[in-house]
Structures are given as C-alpha cells and as structure tokens.
A and B are shown apart, each in its own frame.
Chain A
Amino acid sequence: MTPLISVKDLSKSFPGVHALSHVHFELVPGEVHALVGENGAGKSTLMKIVSGVYSRDSGEILYNGEPVNFLSPRAAQDAGIGIIHQELNLVHHLTVAQNMFIGREPRGRWRVFLDEDKLNRQAREILERIGLRVDPRAVVGGLSIAKQQMVEIAKALSHHSRVLIMDEPPAALNAAEVAELFSIVRELKAAGVGIAYISHKLEEIKEISDRVTVLRDGQFVATVPTATTGLDRIIAMMVGRTLSETLRIERKSPQSEVALEVRNLNCAPLVRNVSFRVHRGEIVGFAGLMGAGRTEVARAVFGADKAQSGEIVVHGAAVRIKSPVDVVTAGIGYLSEDRKRFGLATGMDVESNVVMATLARYLSLKFFLRKQSIRESALAFIRLLNIRTPSPRQEVALLSGGNQQKIVVAKWLARNCDILFFDEPTRGIDVGAKAEIYRLLRTLADEGKAIVLISSELPEILQLSDRIVVMCEGRITGELMPAGATQERIMDLATERETAEAA
C-alpha cells in the first residue's frame, strides 16, 4: 500500500534552534499514527511543515508517492491534508455551518448573495457522515469545547481531506467526550482517512493509535507498533536524556521556616484543591505537562486570576488577596512564562522596567522622579545580575531573552520580594544564559528566598529543585524528593488522569 504521507530526512531550524533534524514519518490510509515527545520535541513543527504552515530546510515529503512542497496551509488543504491546531480556529459568533465553509461560502443568486440553505444542507451532510449530532445553525460560541473540537474535524473533512492531523485535542475533554471523539476518529479510519494524532496523553494514544513515532529534541527516535509496545518503553524513549549531561549545583539545604503556604486553592477550571508549602531557602519545582494548571496556580496565588476559594499564608500570616497589589506588598513576585506580555514593557528602557514595581521609592516630594537614583540602582542590578545591555537607557525589546529575564528578576529583587514564582524561566533562552539563570536561582535560594520553579523541562526541575511537586489536570498528583525522582516517575505522575484513577 502506498503511504499517504511519507516524510524522509526532514530538517528545520529556527533562529538559534534545531527544531527538527533528519526526522522520518509515515502515514498509511486507515491508520491512526500517534506522535509523542516532550514539550519542544518538534511534534507540532513536523506537522506544521507537512500541512504547509512552515517551510522545511531540507528533506523530502511524499504525498501519495509524489514529492510535494506545500507553500501554504491552503495548498495543503486543497490537496487533502487537513490540520486541527492546538488552539481551535473557530469564529465564535458564526454558526457551525458558517464556520465549516468559511472562505468557500456557496453563492446563490447573481453570485452576490450567500446561499444559506445550501450551506446548511452541505454542512448537515458532513456532520451526519461523521455521526456528529449538532445543529449546523447553532452558534459555535455556545457549544462545549468538545463539540467545538468536533466542528473543527467536520470543517477539516469538508475539504474532502484524506489526511487529518490532530494537534493535541484540548486537555479539557472529559471521559465521555473523549469517547465520542474517538468514535468519530474510528469512523474516519474505517473510511480510509489517515490520521496523525499528537498527544501528551499516553493512555489515549494506547487506546486509539496503530503506530507511535517518538521524537526527542527534534530527533527521530523510533516508530513502533502500539499494540506490542509498553507505555514504560514509550516514556523511556521520550525522555531518553540522561542526567549526567547536566551539571549538579552545590546547594545549602533549605531552612525549616515556612515562607509560603497555600491551602485548598481553587480557581476554575485548572486549579483544583491545590495545597503546598515553600520553605525559606527552598526551590520547589512544579512539574507537569502543558495545561496541567501550574501557571494557573501561580496566577491565582498572585491575584492575577480570581480564586474561588483557598487560603494563602505568608510567613505565618494569612493574606487577603484582591489584586496583585496585595500580593506584591506581602513580598511575592511572579515572573511570568510570557515575559513580553506579562513581565515587561518592552517598548520602554531597562531602568524603567527595573523600577517598575518600586517607583514610589524614587520620588522626591512624592511626585518627581529622582532620575539619578533610578539610574544608580538600575546600574547596580545590571552589575549584580550581569545583564548585558549597552546602557540602562536601552530599549528592552532589543535585548536577548536571557537578559530580558534578568530584568524581570531585577524588578522583583528591587522590591525585596522573598517569595518568587519563576514560570518557565528559561523558555526561549540559549544554553549559556540558561546556566546563568540556574546559578542565579540557586544563589537566590541560598540567600534565603523561597522559590517556586515551574518548568516543563524535566532535567531543569530535577537539577534545581529541593522538592518536586507534580500536577496533572489541575490537581497535585504527587510530591517527590529529587533523590528519589526520575524523569519516568515524574511522567507517570504527570499523566495520572482522574479517569484512570476511577477505572
């Protein structure tokens, strides 16, 4: 049988990163082929190249045995390759049918007016074919996430797709919805559609897929038949890296005083009954997959999102949190995973950002800025954290990711925060700067700061943490000491879904 898709020796790099190098992938008709790997392994990149979103640097893609090079998602779609992205691409105010045929609306009289009847009829045919019970005239915004997901599938199929790429169906689906999704996938499979399925949820992959291809750090690891391969083996192939390649950092042991205690924090939908403690001088690593709710915990503690319930105790005193103002006053700083959106005013200069949280201290007559002392403390932090910038007046947007991160750190240090949440502190930062950020974190802890480290990179968590908390679907599923922790053990906890528990 000719494979629908055959990817050979595909490579792709982005500035500073080898996203994919010499990757192979094959998809035959009527197959569900799962792609697995850690965050950043290159799964989505691979599928985006196949579907024409990105271009490739080298390698070959055969579609039905013919070499192809799709220059746009539109071209791939017209050829029969549909992709459902991680984030749903639906227009919430339009109906199901209108969404399915967006850009290809059937025309009626004089080819000016839209033929709404024909539109709904065609949509209904497709919905019936895949057994999806939803009214084509229903407004998409009113549907559940699961139904929206299926509308995306229907939309992809309305192009007569022979290949369907599903990039991480949302984590929010419950067991019944997943079952419904899978029954549709099986129908498609029976009809000879080839399905590439990217997911972090290994149990689901075990259930639905025929073959599994494992990627790690942009490298092809193996393609194995699902039926005869154990989950442990797949996990082992995913995390493969050994710890020896990373340096151990000398550390003092944490103190006994509890700096921050969070009790029964709830913040729908991704923080469910979360409790934990952080001691002075301790780094607590939060591990888990994307969408496990770690960032949401940080945002809820920080008052950026409103928690429904829960108690937050700082140095033994309960803190009432109405807004970030209260939290910052209590001495908690939050370094967001998305520095540019939540951490920095990138259009402003280094010194303005450094004093952003402490401007009140640099005023004379409570009104005028004392520019000289702002300059001096900015320079002091530039030296302390080794921020590489030509001057304190440099626009932040022009600095590298690592240096931007240090500026956010400086902002909170200036505020004397002694509890710091680092959310993915090394995302988008090159290797050299990473090591520097690691040392900085360790130094801060050794000076008595309490640190929560949220990271999707397991080696980073294992290397830096004094204690590891693992989350899955909004709950804390386990706590490990680094001595007893392995990447496999963390992965187990990180994929411990509630449905699996119930079963």
Chain B
Amino acid sequence: MAQSDTAAVSLGKRTVVFGAQLFSSPAGQKLLAFGSLIVLVIYFAFASPAFLHIDNIIGILQSTAVNGVLAIASTFVIITGGIDLSVGCLMTFCAVAAGMVLSSWHLPLWISIVAAVGVGALSGTVSGTLVAKLKIPPFIATLGMMLVNKGLALVVSADKPIYFVDTPSFSQISQGSVIGYILPSVPIPNGVLILFVLAFAASVVLNRTALGRYTFALGSNEEAVRLSGVNVDAWKIAIYGLGGAICGIAGILIASRLNSAQPALGQGYELEAIAAVVIGGTSLSGGTGTILGTIIGAFIMSVLTNGLRILSVAQEWQIVVTGLIIILAVYADILRRRRI
C-alpha cells in the first residue's frame, strides 16, 4: 500500500517535471506561441466565416511580411542582449532611398534594391559602432539613430511621398505572386515568399555560422567571450549592420506594397517588431531566441489585428487588446522560466 502511494507520488512528480521541462525549453516557448496562434485562428474562424476566406488569409500574410522582416532584424540584436529602436524609421529611410534612385535618378530597379539594403547596412553599422566602440547603451544609441533616420527620410524626400509611376514592376516585388503564377489557386504574394526565404536564411545564419554563434554568446556572457580573445566589438557591429541590411529589405517590401515611399511612415513599427520577437520567446535579456518563434510572434500580431477588425471591434479597442496580449505573452514567458 505504502509502496504504491510512493509510486503514484513519484509518477505525479515526474509528470510535473516533464511538463516543466517541456515548457522551459526554447522549443517549449515556440510550442506555447504556436499553440496560441492556432487557438486564435480557430477562435476567429468560428467567430466569423469571413476570417478563413482566401482573400483574408492573403491579406494576413501580406500584412505580416513587413513586420516579420523587421522582427527578424530585431531578433539578432535582441539575442545579443541589445535592442534596436531604429528599425521602423530606418525601413522608411531605406524605402525613400530606393524611391530616389528609381524616380528621381531613373536608375534600374536592382540598383534601388542595392541602395536600400546598403543604406540599411550602413545605418546599422553606425548603430553598432555607437554601441560597441563608444559604449553608448543600445537603447539610447538606436533611439538617436531612429530620429536621425526619420529626419533624413523627410529631408531627402522633401517631406513628400515618392510614387513609382515609371516602374510598375516595383510593386510586383511585394504584390505579385510567383507562386500564384505556377499554382493559380494559391496566389501567395511575393512579399510573403520573401519573408519565408529570409526567415530560412536568417535561421541558417543564426544557427550555423560564426556570426550566429557569437550572437548567442554575446547575449549569454559578453565578458567571457571577450576574455576568450574574440573581437567582440567587430562582431557586435556586424550584427547591428546585418539587422540594418534586413531593414533595407523591409523598406523595399513596404514601398512595393504601397507602391510609394511614404516618408512620414515608420515610427511605431519598431515596437511591433519587438513585440513579435518577445511573443516568439526571445528573451529581452539576451542569449536565447529563434527565428521561427519570431515569425510565429509576427503572425500572432497580424492575426489578432485582422481578426479583431473582422469582428468589427473598434480600432481603439484593437489597440488596447494588442497591448494586453503583449503583456500576457511576456508574463507567460516569465512564469515558464520561474519553473526551472
């Protein structure tokens, strides 16, 4: 009798331990986030038949593309234990740069893409240098760079939207559908395709390259890495630079989707990107995180926005709900960690 009691207790304990392990692993957070996404989708699907309509799904995918790409950029910096507040305004500046190249200088399309990515990489490198060499805290350095990029976008564009009337192909970058050309029944827009290809590439960089390894190591214990004789400053600058280059891609995507570069747009995007990263299980204190989690986080954000709109929730309330969801997601993450 006593023996079976003990067995039952130990079995119960093991189950608890197993559960704790499941959710305390990085995979666990992804599971949690993915589960939440599925729950949201099922809920909205039942609440409104319009939600699962193909046009709406395309809309969700389309709107995730830009935020998802920015969130990928943020993921790198956040895993190092830093933060990049400049991503939104940098995206806009990159879009404006592409617009200038196309519409004012009438250069070929590919040069505009190179320009956008180049401007992004340059700005990111400056941020990284401020953080690594001048030891300015990332929050402040990138806050400064946010305003610099915002201001430059307005200056260069003379505060007017740049429309791509001469180059109709530009809008195809995001809005066209290579997949739809091959499979007409699933017209997934190119912007989404780009998001997924980029996510795959970012995942490879993060997990299979020296840059990725040092991204985690800096966030885990920067001092130990420095004392291992690693050129910490150079890697840090490279990581911020990479983040900036990815913002350039986001700039192309948003300009292509709006078929114009809107210099006043951009501020606020950085916070949505950070929210997606955090919901996806990347810790703001650095050292852990995944691209897959970030993508799931970005989808949670856009499914939520879209679903609430379909249910005709007032836009003001949508904002409130989004805020609460972010708090809830981070709190769930804290609870998960506490169990260790």
Q: Which of B166-174, B211-219, B272-280 lies on the face that meets chain A?
A: B211-219
Q: Which residues of A contact B288 (CB under 8 A)?
A: 347
**Minimum C-beta distance from B213 to chain A (A):** 6
| A345-B210 contact, Cβ under 8 Å, with A325-B230, A325-B231, A352-B217 | no
Residue A411 lies at the interface, judged by CB distance under 8 Å to chain B: yes
- Among A323, A342, A345, A371, max chain B CB count under 10 A is at A345
Q: Which residues of A contact B229 (CB under 8 A)?
A: 324-325, 327-329, 357, 415
Q: Which residues of B contact A334 (CB under 8 A)?
A: 227
**Minimum C-beta distance from B305 to chain A (A):** 33
Residue B338 lies at the interface, judged by CB distance under 8 Å to chain A: no
Identify which of B216, B223, B228 contacts A328 (C-beta below 8 A).
B228
Size of interface on B: residues with Cβ below 8 Å to A: 22
Please encode chain B, from 192 to 226, with 1 for each CB lying within 8 Å of some chain A CB and 0 for all others. 00000000000000001111111011001101111
| A304-B227 contact, Cβ under 8 Å, with A346-B221, A347-B288, A348-B220 | yes
Residue B281 lies at the interface, judged by CB distance under 8 Å to chain A: no
Of all chain A residues, the one with the shortest Cβ separation from B286 is A347
Please encode chain B, from 31 to 60, with 1 for each CB lying within 8 Å of some chain A CB and 0 for all others. 000000000000000000000000000000
| A336-B227 contact, Cβ under 8 Å, with A345-B217, A345-B221, A348-B216 | yes
Please encode chain A, from 285 to 328, with 1 for each CB lying within 8 Å of some chain B CB and 0 for all others. 00000000000000000101000000000000000000111011
User: Are A359 and B210 within 8 A (Cβ)?
Assistant: yes
User: Are B223 and A369 within 8 A (Cβ)?
Assistant: no
User: Are A342 and B217 within 8 A (Cβ)?
Assistant: no
User: Are A369 and B220 within 8 A (Cβ)?
Assistant: no
Residue A14 lies at the interface, judged by CB distance under 8 Å to chain B: no
Size of interface on A: residues with Cβ below 8 Å to B: 30
User: Are A345 and B208 within 8 A (Cβ)?
Assistant: no
**Minimum C-beta distance from B308 to chain A (A):** 37
- Among B211, B216, B220, B288, max chain A CB count under 10 A is at B220
Q: Which residues of B contact A363 (CB under 8 A)?
A: 209-210
User: Are A341 and B221 within 8 A (Cβ)?
Assistant: yes
Q: Please measure, in the bound complex, the distance between the C-alpha atom of A357 and the C-alpha atom of B210, giving whole angstroms.
A: 11
User: Are B227 and A359 within 8 A (Cβ)?
Assistant: no
Q: Which residues of B contact A215 (CB under 8 A)?
A: none
Residue B99 lies at the interface, judged by CB distance under 8 Å to chain A: no
User: Are B208 and A371 within 8 A (Cβ)?
Assistant: yes
User: Are B220 and A357 within 8 A (Cβ)?
Assistant: no
Q: Please measure, in the bound complex, the distance between the C-alpha atom of A419 and the C-alpha atom of B208, giving whole angstroms.
A: 31
**Minimum C-beta distance from A279 to chain B (A):** 23
Q: Which residues of B contact A415 (CB under 8 A)?
A: 229
The interface of chain B, by Cβ under 8 A from chain A, is: 208-214, 216-217, 220-221, 223-231, 287-288
